[in-house]
Amino acid sequence: LPNVTYRYGGELRNASTIEVKTYNRLERKDIYNVIGIMKGEIEPDRYIAIGNHRDSWTLGSVDPTSGTATLLEITRVFGQMYKNDFRPRRSLMFCSWDAEEYGLIGSVEYVQEYVKVLGARIVSYLNVDLAVQGKIFIKNSND
């Protein structure tokens, strides 16, 4: 690119020139966000959102699958509690975002579409992406 300075290191540091070629294919694809809402009993117009993306560049065992498993389990537990007559104070939003790896497209498009409502009503957002990572297991003394 003209008028762009590149910095590089290693064996390339002393090279006088470097040529970079990129081959991109632009495609238009549909994406799908999945949103579930459990209506609150006392403040139904106020939302607690819990979310995670489900797309991945690689096999995704940590990112996003650990967060997806966490989101699904949270949703399952709240669903079971709901069957047993539990009603949350505020409405709960369970958000499964698509196209996060492509620049947060799924969540950004959703927020842009509903910005006024969400801005006025969302109390908090809990992102459960990367719920676990690494090979070390740490047990809390209270467990």
Report residue 45: phi and psi, to 5°: -90, 5
- Name residue 21's amino acid: K
Quick one: three-class SS letters along the chain? CCCCCCCCCHHHCCCCCCCCCCCCCCCCCCCCCEEEEECCCCEEEEEEEEEEECCCCCCCCCCCHHHHHHHHHHHHHHHHHHHCCCCCCEEEEEEEECCCCCCCHHHHHHHHHCHHHHHHHEEEEEECCCCCCCCCCCCCCCC
From the candidates 41, 100, 101, 113, which is the catalytic residue?
100
The two structure tokens encoding residue 90: 């505020």
**Whether residue 73 lies in the annotated active site:** no
Mind telling me the catalytic residues?
A: 100
